[in-house]
Every structure is written in structure tokens, then in C-alpha cells.
Copies of this chain bind each other. A is one copy, B any other.
Amino acid sequence: MSARPLTDFRRLSINDATTKVQWTLEEEIRGYAELGIPGISIWRDKLAECGVAKAAALLREHRMTVTGLCRGGMFPAATAAQRQAAIEDNWRAIDDAAALEAQCLVLVVGGLPPGSRDIIGARQMVLDGLHAIVEHARQAGMPLAIEPLHPMYAADRACVNSMAQANDLCDAVGQGVGIALDVFHVWWDPMLEAEIRRAGKSRLLAFHICDWLVPMQDMLLDRGMMGDGVIDIPLIRGWVEYAGYAGFHEVEIFSAHHWWKKPAPEVLEVCKARYLSVV
């Protein structure tokens, strides 16, 4: 059931967090293009530094596909005013994603509000937030990609922690909402294959890859290069492709201890080599 080996870079995208320490967004767009990488996913802090109009022009110049803008979401908050501010920030993120012609806006939905122990309530706030932004997204033609995060981030980053939950939210909110699947977050889930099939082609909006290192130095910033950890990436890619996904494979590696310390071109060459050998 494993996917067939990849033989070219036509569907390779790099999430720009992978080189965030080494390069500006302009350097990333030029550098990725120079190395024959046709896709990029962009974080909003880097986009803000560059400016949306300049970034859009650079992307067109280099014929780069934006496989996602990271990130909207972060819906749960202690007060109604804060929740409304989050919704308005999501509207702006949708507009920015549309300006870049991104394939989706990735949503990291948020964890518990400060001081809260009510994860069920936080999940309700996520559903409410999605309802509050989906019409804006539909009008902008910008798909919203809910990214289930690993359960170790349930408290502080995202209270949506499985493909099943993401599918349930898609069922509830309807057209315009799909899923960004990152192997790092979901590789352990016994229901993964079934829930990928349940999501199907229409909901699978992005496929993120990296690896799970053993041991892991840091819960947030020690993600591994593909092949250096324990995730059977070809198996999961096979499940995703069997479900109809034919989009990009987006490398996203947060690595304060290793890859962020190396020159960006070296990191990208390793990404390309591993993409052909182990993804």
C-alpha cells in the first residue's frame, strides 16, 4: 500500500518555517526557485516583514505556487471581545491568502484560554469561530485547512488533535473547510487510514511532511528531516493518494537544534535528496 517513489520535484513545496532563521521571505522565494522547488508555504510573520504586494510580485516573477498561508485559527479566548478579535484577524488572513493565490489558509485552531481547564468548551469555541469565518472564506474562494495538531499541543496550541475531529468539524461547517494533514501530528493515530479515506479528495487540502525523532529534545522545535525518525511516510502518502490527493508535498521542519543552524541551501539540498529517497 506504500506509495510509489517520487522521481521529480514537481510537487515539492517547502514551508518557509524550515528556513525561517536563515532567510527572509524574499531570499526564500528566490532561493527555492533557484533550486527547482516550485512550491512554498508562507508564515504570516515573514509575509508582514516583506509586505503582501511585494511578496505577490516576487511569487509571480518566480512562478511559485503558494501551497498554504500559515496561519489562521487561534479561536478560543477568555472573553467575547478577544474571540471577536481573533475572528477579525482570520478575515485578514483570508484576504492575504487570496492576494497570494494560496491554495489554502492553514488553521491552527488554538488551545485552552489562559486559566481554563475546559477543553470541551474550547472545542466549541473553535466550531463557533469556524462558523464566523467560513462565509468570508467562501466569498474569497479561499479554502480553510484545519490542521489537527498532535495531542501534546492540546492545551497550548490546538484542541483539534485527530483527523476524526477535523472531519467532524468539516461535517459541521460544510463547504469551504478541509484538512491539512501533517504526518508529524497524526502518524500515531490508529484511525488514520480510515479517517483519511473519510476525508477524501475534496477535503484533503495539504500534506505536510517531516519526521518524529526519538528521542525528541524539545516538544516544539525538534522536528526531524524525513528519514531521520520513525514515521513511515510512504505508507501515509499512499493512503492520502489512494483517497485522491494529488497536490503538493510540503516539507515543514521546525528545528532549533539542528537544521536552523545550517546554511539554507544545504538544508534544501537534503530536503530534495530525502524527498526522492524516503518520502
Chain A positions within 8 Å of B, measured between CB atoms, are 112, 116-119, 123, 150-152, 154-156, 159, 161-162, 164-165, 187-190, 212, 214-216, 219, 229-232
Specify the main secondary structure of chain A where it touches its partner. Answer: loop
Bound CA span A117–B119, Å: 32
**Top 4 A-B pairs, shortest CB-CB distance:** A154-B188, A117-B232, A152-B152, A151-B188
Bound CA span A152–B185, Å: 10
Among B156, B215, B229, contact of A215 (Cβ-Cβ < 8 Å):
B156
Q: How many copies does the complex hold?
A: 2
Whether A189 pairs with B117 at a CB distance below 8 angstroms is no
Report A273 CB to chain B, min CB distance, Å: 19
Contacts of A155 in B (CB 8 A): 188, 212, 214, 229-230
Bound CA span A216–B219, Å: 8
Residue of B nearest to A232 (CB): B117
Report A92 CB to chain B, min CB distance, Å: 28
8 A-B interface contacts by CB (under 8 A): A112-B230, A119-B230, A119-B232, A150-B151, A152-B219, A154-B188, A161-B189, A161-B190
Contacts of A150 in B (CB 8 A): 151-152
Residue of B nearest to A185 (CB): B151
Bound CA span A189–B159, Å: 9
Report A160 CB to chain B, min CB distance, Å: 9
- Other CB < 8 Å A-B pairs besides A150-B151, A155-B212, 16 of them? A112-B214, A112-B230, A117-B232, A118-B232, A119-B188, A119-B230, A123-B190, A150-B152, A151-B152, A152-B219, A155-B188, A156-B215, A159-B188, A161-B189, A161-B190, A164-B190
